[in-house]
Structure 1
């Protein structure tokens, strides 16, 4: 979409139907030192019924770099079986803000099976290690319950302007999360805007 010497803004779109049963998507991201990479989804992702599919993301953010990724809904349809795994490695002074929205089922569906994991580390060790297992056909109390949408904004590598109800990590970072039955009911858009503005300010990139 745009770029200069230290900043790139790109859009990601599937060239065909993704994820079909048995698909294996692997994404590798390398953000150079002092650079800012902003990624936005076009159209989101739908996991269709069939054999187990996977969506694997690995990202390295160089010293003083910043990754901003606004993910659109990741929908797990009835009969789908998906493993979704992300791994971020931050070098000195690096940071990231990620928006992820996980949805069990399309309208009128209960959704399939999802295993979603995210690990973020830097030279000092783990910042965030999280794993969610959910199945729309067997909802579990204490996991999602009757909810089918998990929306989250995650900031790592710095302290964002968190709200009182947000989870602040022991290491620099925080998470804002909202559970609901509809994607349009999420209140996290302003959180994303505020945390991204803070991250860009850290990176000395004009907002």
Structure 2
């Protein structure tokens, strides 16, 4: 399939936003000179057996890109044909990516490989929400291999891999739960609780395991961490202007 592409660069008076439709159709919701809000919806019926979805995201230096899913994703029965979902993201100097994903549901008989890669430049930040669900209500769910890797200019920040199968649950992974909800913050230190995982480099992960998505506590976590990232980006954008004003005096 043709890759879905979202790229934003600073512009005057409005940011330059490049959108390319693939399996997903990005739609511009709002923008100013350095910020853009883009919604993602399926361009057709996905995720079927044999589908390969690729999403490329580039956030230019000093920009803020907010991505939101419109309808979530359901991976259907594979009938012997695995499907793939790949997300490649690059966040340049002083920029921020906020991606609030809706549930990714792996139905009975589905076979999905999901890969997320994130590259952060110096001073870049990201907050990403991933909600993985094994099966619709009453189902055990199919097979999901999910990998998330992130790095900055100095090296690796995060490397995780999950291999889940609703018909063969792994002890100590999901247990009796079918929902794995996570908010991942990288490039800064958000406010955390004792239940969150604080990373060695600036960043943290908040997780929720449950039987249903609506029982997750992470809506509040997302709101707080995303707002902190917005404020950091606003400071990066404002500081050069302030320095120029001081120099002019």
Tell me the residue number matched to 1:84: 114
> 1:55-204 alignment to 2 at 5 Å?
55-204=85-234
Q: Is it true that 1:22 corresponds to 2:53 in the alignment?
A: no
SS at match of 1:143: coil
C-alpha deviation, 1:17, in angstroms: 1.1
Q: Which of 1 and 2 has greater Rg?
A: 2
Q: Distance in 1 between matches of 2:170 and 2:60?
A: 42
Tell me the residue number matched to 1:12: 40
Task: State the TM-score, normalized to the length of structure 2.
Answer: 0.81
Q: Distance in 2 between matches of 1:9 and 1:174?
A: 24
Q: Which runs of structure 1 show a deviation greater than 2 angstroms over 4 or more consecutive aligned residues?
A: none
Q: Distance in 2 between matches of 1:66 and 1:177?
A: 21
Tell me the residue number matched to 1:35: 63
> How many pairs align?
205
Task: State the TM-score, normalized to the length of structure 1.
Answer: 0.98
* Deviation string, structure 1 residues 70-100 (Cα, Å, up to 9, x no partner): 0000000000000000000000000000011
Q: Distance in 1 between matches of 2:55 and 2:30?
A: 21
SS at match of 1:204: helix
C-alpha deviation, 1:61, in angstroms: 0.3
* Deviation string, structure 1 residues 141-195 (Cα, Å, up to 9, x no partner): 1111111100000000000111121000001100000001100100111000000
How much is the aligned-residue C-alpha RMSD, in angstroms?
Answer: 0.7
Q: Distance in 1 between matches of 2:46 and 2:202?
A: 34
SS at match of 2:171: coil
C-alpha deviation, 1:41, in angstroms: 0.1
Larger relative contact order, structure 1 or 2 (CA cutoff 8 Å, min sep 6): 1
C-alpha deviation, 1:44, in angstroms: 0.1
Q: Distance in 1 between matches of 2:205 and 2:224?
A: 13
Structure 2: unaligned runs, 5 residues or longer? 1-28, 236-249
Structure 1: unaligned runs, 5 residues or longer? none
